[in-house]
Amino acid sequence: MTTSNKVVLVTGCSEGGIGFALCEAYAAQGCVVYATARRLESMQKLSDSNIHTLKLDVLLDADVEDVVSSIVNREGRIDILVNNAGAATPGAVLDSTVDRVRAAFELNTISVFRVSKAVARYMAQRKSGTIVVIGSVAGIVPTPWGGIYPATKAAVHMMMDILWMECKPLGIHVTVVAAGGVKTNIAKNAAQPNIVPEDTLYSAYTSRILSLLPDSQAKMHPDAPYSCS
C-alpha cells in the first residue's frame, strides 16, 4: 500500500485547530481523510476533495461506533487514527469544581480510549495501523494555573505508553505527540467566565491568571508536520 491512499480518521477538526491543519496536510499527501467534529459547520472550510467531513461527538459511544463502522464499511479499513479532540481547562486546581474536572477527563482522556478501542478492533484484524494521540508538554512539565488540563494529558500519555506495548503484538503502532506551543483556538474556546470564581483562594493573582490565556498564544505559529508514511 502506497502512502497516497491511506485512510485517516482525525477527531477535533474545527477550524483554527491542530486537527484542521492535519486534515489539510494529510489530504495534500493524497490520503483519504475523514475529518470529524461535533459541528459540521466548524469544518466547512476544509475544501480538498480528499477530505470527507462527519459529525462526531467523541463523548458518545454510539456516535463513535457509527462513525468508525461507516468509514470501515466504505473504505475497508482505517490506517491512521489521530486522536486530537480536546479542550483546555485553565485556572487553579483548587478553583475547579468536581464537575469541571470530570468533564475535562471525559473529553481529554476517556474519549481517547473510546475512539482508540473502536478503531483498534479493525486494525487488529488486518494487523496493521497507527494510532496517534496529540498530547502536550503540559502533561510532562507541571505549570501553575494550568488547571486540570495537564493531569488529563499526563493520564493520556501513560495510557498510550502502555497501549504501545500491548498493541505491538497486534501489528498496531501507537505514538504520542507531546505538542508544545501551537497557535490555535484552544485558549479562546476555554475562556469561560468561571475560571476564577468569587471565592478563589488566589484573589491576589486573578489578573495574572486571566492574562495567561492570550499571552500563551501570542507568539505561537500553527504547524502540522505529520506524514502519511
The yes-or-no verdict on residue 181 having pLDDT over 80 is no
pLDDT at 199: 84
| Greater pLDDT, 142 or 44 | 44
| Residue 154 to residue 142: CA distance in whole angstroms | 10
Q: Enter the CATH code of domain 3-217.
A: 3.40.50.720
Q: What angle do CA 86, 34, 186 make, to 5 degrees?
A: 25
The yes-or-no verdict on residue 74 having pLDDT over 50 is yes
For the segment 105-119, the average pLDDT, to the nearest whole number, is 98
State the catalytic residues.
149, 153
For the segment 114-135, the average pLDDT, to the nearest whole number, is 97
For the segment 19-41, the average pLDDT, to the nearest whole number, is 96
State the alpha helices, DSSP H only, in 127-223. Answer: 149-167, 186-189, 206-217
SS3 83: strand
Every domain of the chain and the residues it spans? 3-217
- Positive or negative torsion for Cα 86, 87, 90, 95: negative
pTM for this entry: 0.85
Phi, psi of 22 (to 5 degrees): -65, -40
SS3 58: coil
